[in-house]
Amino acid sequence: MKMFKGLFCSVVVAALMLPSISWAEEFQINAEARIFNPDILYAKPGDTISFVNMASHDSVSVAGFIPEGAQPWESGIGNNLSIKVEVEGTYLYVCVPHLGFGMVGIIVVGEAKDIDDVMTRAQAKLEGPYRRLIGKILKVQQAAKAQ
Ligand SMILES: [Cu+2]
């Protein structure tokens, strides 16, 4: 019995230590008036990101501007939404009702290795208010170069 107790304690201790190595984080992106805060979020594969305070807002991933194999999302207006990001790369999203105000954001999962390609495609393909994303892509690009 004593041995089992010792073994049990070892397992508990090991279980408590493991998450400190690979613990997935949870982030919140708060919808505030006409912006997402933060508008640029850095996360890791496996992390969860929640869009909160979404009354009158939505969060919609931009088609063609999330990594290949990643799940697109669309919260619907007024709905909070949690997504789990698994695929490394750059994700662009917008709030459709407030797109004209520049209510757009970027999630970078892992390293922003694809950011130059994203910028090239964004300049070629994004139209109208979607071009508000280009300034934010530029910030991620500059941060990646500064490293
Ligand atoms: Cu909005």
pLDDT of 5-51, one tens digit each? 555 555 555 555 555 556 899 999 999 999 999 999 999 999 999 99
For 90-128, give one letter per residue: b (16+ CB within 10 A) or e: bbbbbbeebbeebbbbbbbbbebebbeebbeebeeebee
What span, in angstroms and rounded, lies between the C-alpha atoms of 137 and 114?
Answer: 11
List the structure tokens of 85: 């990001």
**Long-range CB contact pairs, 73-76, < 8 A, 24+:** 75/51
Tell me which of 39 and 2 has the higher pLDDT.
39
Q: How many angstroms separate the alpha carbon of residue 2 from the centre of ligand 1?
A: 59
pLDDT given at position 147: 81
Q: How many angstroms separate the alpha carbon of residue 115 from the centre of ligand 1?
A: 25
Q: Place domain 24-146 in its CATH homologous superfamily.
A: Cupredoxins -  blue copper proteins (2.60.40.420)
Q: How many angstroms separate the alpha carbon of residue 10 from the centre of ligand 1?
A: 49
What are the boundaries of each domain within the chain? 24-146
Q: How many angstroms separate the alpha carbon of residue 84 from the centre of ligand 1?
A: 21
Bridge partner list, 100: none
75-119 tens-digit pLDDT = 999 999 999 999 999 999 999 999 999 999 999 999 999 999 999
Q: How many angstroms separate the alpha carbon of residue 55 from the centre of ligand 1?
A: 8
Q: How many angstroms separate the alpha carbon of residue 25 from the centre of ligand 1?
A: 25
Q: How many angstroms separate the alpha carbon of residue 142 from the centre of ligand 1?
A: 26
